[in-house]
Amino acid sequence: MNHRIIFVLSLVFYLSGCGINNIPSYDEQVSASWSQVINQYQRRDELIPNIVDTVKAYAKHENTVLVEVAKARSKVRDMQLPGDITSNKSAINKYQAVQGQLGNSLSRLLLVVEKYPELTSNSNYLALQSQLEGTENRIAIARRDYIKAVQLYNTELRTYPGKIWKSVLYPDAVLKETFTASDAVEKVPVVNL
């Protein structure tokens, strides 16, 4: 009887140290990293109305750009994210596209603002601009962390012993899609004041 207990305990310790839990652990890391990407985009989304209202007060003749920002923001808000977005290439590409459109329209808005010196010296606008720039940096960091988490997870599924554990214990585990963005989307809006 004692030999069985010792054997079972030895087996448990052996299995816990040989990567049997890596796949679910890395999957959770991918999910957490994706949530952080969503969180940072939400932060940007919440800043937009304040920026638009501040610019609108000074730049009454720039309705086209303001409407463009509002439409892009509306597309982002209306998009329904499927539960499998991290493993659904078309969904992640669509999400990237609408976020890219919003980022581009914000960049154009910030460029228009340069024509209004009284706005660029307004303390509310300067604070909002600083928050937006910080948020764009956070988005870049969150995307980077997500890409790293996906790389670790996908590598585990494709290499040994992870390949064995996947086939035996986690047959439903699927490769995750990396978050890639075009050069235009990755750039933080540049404003020369």
Domain ranges for the chain: 22-186
Query: Cα–Cα distance between 92 and 103 in angstroms, integer?
Result: 16
DSSP assigned state of 87: G
pLDDT (0 to 100) of residue 122: 86
Q: Give the Å distances, CA to CA, from 168 to 24, 97, 163.
A: 13, 37, 9
**CATH architecture assignment, domain 22-186:** Up-down Bundle (1.20)
Token pair for residue 84? 């499998």
Place of tokens 């596209």: 97
Cβ pair 102, 112 in contact under 8 A: no
pLDDT (0 to 100) of residue 110: 87
Model pTM above 0.85: no
Spans of the chain below 50 pLDDT: 185-186, 191-193
